[in-house]
């Protein structure tokens, strides 16, 4: 939706653990025929847009403590369901697991800001955050040959400044540049960034102007370096690709499952304090099918080879996830 951030939970769960809102289906409660507004509603940050229990209209999912019904279902992305056992005229959402961070406890569905740079939400025991500061990359240009970010006193987010001479600043370099005679657009594309987490589901991004408007845009892809499994880390003694799983898995994104099974490869763990990260990867479109009937695709990284080195990724996992399963909340 234009002008609005949306949060999505990315999960890989066995199909037997796929939770949905359990709503009693009653035909007389559903309008016949369906009558929906022309435009989908704009939901608050962290609130999912779901199909109502009649299968008619997209509505903003009900959150913890809010009334719920067939036409106003709970947010199954947060493992909330309508509790019809409450002896009252108003049903309320059943509470999910709480989240603990820095000595503070947050209820499932509660939003908070641990710092000025991040806005977070607790979702059934998991904490996911979206950045409040822009993550754009400024490419060199004739009037700004050496752009770099600096921290301005009294301001939360870093800002771009220009210098006319190189000072060995750590800004991301352009790795591809070619001129397209047909439209006089000089195509510039950065490398994919490192995965935002060293284990579990995460995201990687890049900046490119390879589009019809020749305008810079940020592209993202889902990535998994390795599953968050301490036992696996003890068993892996060198940096190597783990064997493919004997059985394929389906990726799950906001309650939607990949239409096909995959056997992804992961990086191992180095035992000499070096980091083991993807060396060669490919990006593939993964198609997802939702219970509401929607179908969409997402770019996803698949590992081909890994390498051991001392250039370890910085702690850029802004999602603060205590991984029970492989989860992540992302800004799409």
285 within a domain of the structure (yes/no): yes
Looking at the structure, tell me whether residues 14 and 116 fall in a common domain.
Answer: yes
Would you say 233 and 200 are in contact if contact means Cβ atoms under 8 Å apart?
Answer: no
Cβ neighbours of residue 151 closer than 8 Å, sequence gap 6 or more: 158
Question: What tens digit of pLDDT does each residue of 245-283 get?
Answer: 668 888 877 778 899 999 888 887 776 777 888 888 999
Question: What tens digit of pLDDT does each residue of 46-63 get?
Answer: 788 888 888 888 899 888
329 within a domain of the structure (yes/no): no
Domain boundary among 85, 109, 130: 130
Where b means 16+ CB within 10 Å and e means fewer, 13-51 reads beeeeeeebebeeeeeebeeeeeeeeeeeebeebbbbbb
Looking at the structure, tell me whether residues 99 and 197 fall in a common domain.
Answer: no
Closest CA to 129 of 317, 326, 299, 315: 317
- With bands split at pLDDT 50, 70 and 90, how would you rate the model's confidence at 68? confident
Question: What tens digit of pLDDT does each residue of 278-314 get?
Answer: 888 999 999 988 877 778 889 999 998 888 877 765 4
Averaged pLDDT score across all residues of the chain: 70
**Phi, psi for residue 93 in degrees, rounded to 5:** -75, 135
236 within a domain of the structure (yes/no): yes
Domain boundary among 130, 151, 169: 130
> What CATH number does residue 271 fall under?
2.10.90.10
Closest CA to 23 of 64, 67, 88, 71: 71
The single residue listed with the structure tokens 């510039």 is 188
Looking at the structure, tell me whether residues 121 and 202 fall in a common domain.
Answer: no
Cβ neighbours of residue 164 closer than 8 Å, sequence gap 6 or more: 145, 146
In the predicted structure, residue 106 carries a pLDDT above the cut 80: yes
Distance between start and end Cα atoms, the chain: 10
pTM over 0.85: no
Query: 90 lies in which domain range?
Result: 7-130
Looking at the structure, tell me whether residues 218 and 287 fall in a common domain.
Answer: yes
Q: What is the tally of structural domains in the chain?
A: 2
Q: Return the higher-pLDDT residue of 74 and 182.
A: 74
């Amino acid at each position: 939706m234009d002008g609005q951030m949306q949060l999505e939970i990315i999960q890989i769960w066995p199909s037997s653990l796929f939770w949905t809102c359990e709503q009693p289906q009653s035909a007389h409660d559903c309008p016949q025929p369906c009558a929906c507004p022309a435009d989908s509603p704009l939901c608050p940050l962290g609130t999912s847009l779901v199909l109502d229990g009649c299968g008619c209209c997209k509505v903003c999912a009900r959150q913890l403590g809010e009334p719920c019904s067939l036409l106003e279902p709970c947010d199954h992305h947060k493992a909330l369901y309508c509790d019809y056992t409450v002896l009252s005229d108003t049903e309320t959402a059943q509470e999910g697991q709480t989240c603990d961070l820095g000595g503070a406890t947050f209820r499932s569905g509660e939003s908070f800001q641990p710092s000025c740079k991040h806005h977070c939400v607790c979702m059934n025991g998991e904490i996911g955050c979206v950045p409040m500061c822009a993550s754009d990359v400024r490419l060199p240009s004739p009037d700004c040959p050496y752009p770099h970010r600096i921290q301005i006193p009294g301001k939360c987010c870093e800002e771009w400044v220009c210098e006319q001479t190189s000072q060995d600043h750590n800004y991301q370099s352009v790795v591809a540049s070619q001129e397209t005679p047909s439209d006089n657009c000089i195509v510039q594309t950065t490398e994919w960034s490192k995965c935002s987490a060293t284990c579990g589901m995460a995201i990687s991004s890049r900046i490119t102007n390879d589009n019809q408007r020749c305008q810079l845009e940020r592209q993202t892809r889902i990535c998994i370096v390795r599953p968050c499994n301490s036992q696996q880390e003890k068993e892996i003694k060198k940096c190597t690709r783990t064997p493919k799983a004997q059985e394929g898995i389906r990726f799950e994104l906001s309650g939607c499952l990949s239409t096909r099974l995959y056997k992804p490869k992961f990086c191992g763990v180095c035992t000499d304090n070096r980091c083991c990260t993807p060396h060669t990867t490919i990006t593939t479109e993964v198609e997802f099918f939702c219970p509401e009937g929607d179908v969409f695709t997402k770019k996803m990284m698949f590992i081909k080879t890994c390498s051991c080195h001392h250039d370890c990724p910085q702690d850029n996992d802004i999602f603060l996830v205590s991984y029970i399963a492989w989860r992540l909340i992302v800004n799409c």
